[in-house]
Amino acid sequence: MKDFRVLLINCNTMLDTLVTAGIGILAACLKNSGVEVRLFDTTFYRTAEKTGDEARAHALQVRKTDFAELGIVPEAGDVVEDFRDLVESYRPDLIGLSCIEVTFPLGLRLLNAVRHTGIPTIAGGVYPTFAPEIVMRHAAIDMVCVGEGELPLMELCEKMRQGADITAIRNIWIRRDGKLYKNPVRHGIDMRQLPYQDWDVYDRRRFWKPMGGRISVTGTFEMNRGCPYTCTYCINSGFDQLYGPLGGYYREQDIGRLIEEMLEKKERYNLAYVYLVAESFLTTSRKRVEEFARRYPEVGLPFWVEARPESISTAKVRILKDVGCEGISVGVESGNDDLRRNVLGRNVSNDTIIKAFDLLADTGIRVSANNIIGFPTETREMIFETIELDRRIQPHGVMVSFFSPYRGCTLREVCETEGYIGAEDIAMDYRLGPTMDMPQLRRRELIGLHRAFPLYVKFPKSEWDNIRICEGDGPEAEAAFNEYARRYTDMYMR
């Protein structure tokens, strides 16, 4: 059979170095099927004014770190020119773009720059999955992968290599001879069939990631795909709808298989920190948690997980502590019970949230509370209910994100109906700014509340009048915020 080359594009936000499991798995699948693979990665190009980590450090959510200490700085070259040069020299048989909503415009620029070559292109990832009609209207994109890409992409490459018909491959939409073929989605792959991630496609700089205020060689490993919950603000609600007729999207990886891959990465790449990809790490059987606890000491590295408050119990907290969990993020999202239950689809009480954080207190595990502000129908008063709940639970880290109505989350439909976002508008990076300007919560007010949020949580109410000055955008507000930021850093981020 003739050689077949694929050029994958990891269209990433600037200096977000956490290695995504998806690209590595795709590369491994293709290589195992005899396909040659190269990766063009936008991570180290200056494609934004500030990075997500810089934004979060400025907003007092994470400790400030400096990649420059490791010699990691944005590339001097132009991202489009460098991509065009690589395409001209590598001459792939297929170009595959992987993107999320916020990076799709950049990905489209790259594909438009090489449209003249006539090389077939396919776009995949969360945004193409949930906006295939929009993506396929662009002439630079010939195909879209809707849903998981491992099996469809291998089938596509094999048929292209053979010169066979490619218009009936499940999960793939393709434009051919003026007609758009919209093929149905296939069942999700059994996770035990997945190969280990191929990290050789990455620049070694990608392995360094700030976690807990330190920059370490960090790897991501999929504990599961999907989520057993369907919160309306999360894209997993979209995957649940997409895969619902096929029996659902949620699947779990075999613990033994997971441990073996971690050990392989530890040996080959000096892995030092583990991020376990699971929307709710503890929402599984106790037997599975106990198996993880029994096997993980073989890896013996600090790790970080996410969890829902209702999944946290005395027994599971003891297991996490004993096995070396370094950090855990727990979803609070909103302190308003009605908003949480009836708008966000989170059927959990404030008492349950408080109990979860009480159980995690004094364990030595770094505990963060994930909060989101700027939901449709949310008011300033509701945000202060979230602040009050955070004051009660007193997490080590106060994380605050802007609600971004990404395609795939069912709450997007509400935002479009209310006119807060257009049907084809791109939602903003949830770390950098609000997407929506709502009558009850203007964009400027949200920005001010976002940066003052941790201050309201940690400092006494006697200072709240002064903290409110920090919500402004003039010289007085900047001076006040800078002084509070200095105090906050000294007191809570050492």
Distance CA 234, CA 407 (A): 9
174, 143 Cβ separation under 8 angstroms = yes
Strands 208-211 and 251-252: unpaired
CATH number of the domain to which 352 belongs: 3.20.20.70
Q: What is the pLDDT of residue 64?
A: 86
**Sign (positive or negative) of CA dihedral 85, 86, 92, 95:** negative
Strand residues in 202-281 grouped as ranges (E)? 208-211, 214-222, 224-225, 251-252, 273-277
CA 191 to chain centre: 19
Element housing 402 (H / E): strand 397-402
Q: Residue 303: inside a domain, yes or no?
A: yes
Domain at 136, CATH number: 3.40.50.280
Q: Do 257 and 371 share a domain, yes or no?
A: yes
Tokens of 484: 């509070």
pLDDT at residue 46 in the model = 92
121 and 32 both lie in a single domain: yes
Residue 384 included in any domain:
yes
What's the pLDDT at 210? 83
- Cα–Cα–Cα angle for 349, 356, 335, rounded to 5 degrees: 40
Rounded Cα distance between 452 and 494, Å, is: 19
Number of domains in the chain: 2
Q: Distance (Å, rounded) from C-alpha 421 to C-alpha 407?
A: 11
Do 231 and 302 lie in one domain? The reply is yes
Residue 315 in any domain: the answer is yes
Task: Identify residue 456 by its one-letter amino acid code.
Answer: Y
In a domain, 406, yes or no: yes
What pLDDT was estimated at residue 494?
A: 76
Tokens of 424: 């084809």
Query: Cα separation of 152 and 318, whole Å?
Result: 42
Q: Which domain holds residue 310?
A: 223-458
The list of the chain residues with pLDDT below 70 reads: 1
Same domain, 236 and 167: no
The answer to whether residue 266 sits within a structural domain is yes
Domain check: are 386 and 298 in the same one? yes
166 plus 232 within the same structural domain: no
Q: Does pTM top 0.85 for this prediction?
A: yes
Are 286 and 400 members of one domain?
Answer: yes
Phi-psi region of 213 (alpha: psi -120 to 50; beta: other; left: phi over 0): left
Statement to judge: residues 169 and 284 lie in one domain:
no
- 379 falls within a domain: yes
Pair of tokens at residue 239:
């995957």
In DSSP terms, which residues pair with 172 in a beta bridge? 145
Final residue belonging to a domain, choices 117, 151, 182? 182
Judgement on whether residues 144 and 227 belong to the same structural domain of the protein: no
For residue range 296-315, what is the model confidence (pLDDT) as tens digits?
Answer: 999 999 999 999 999 999 99
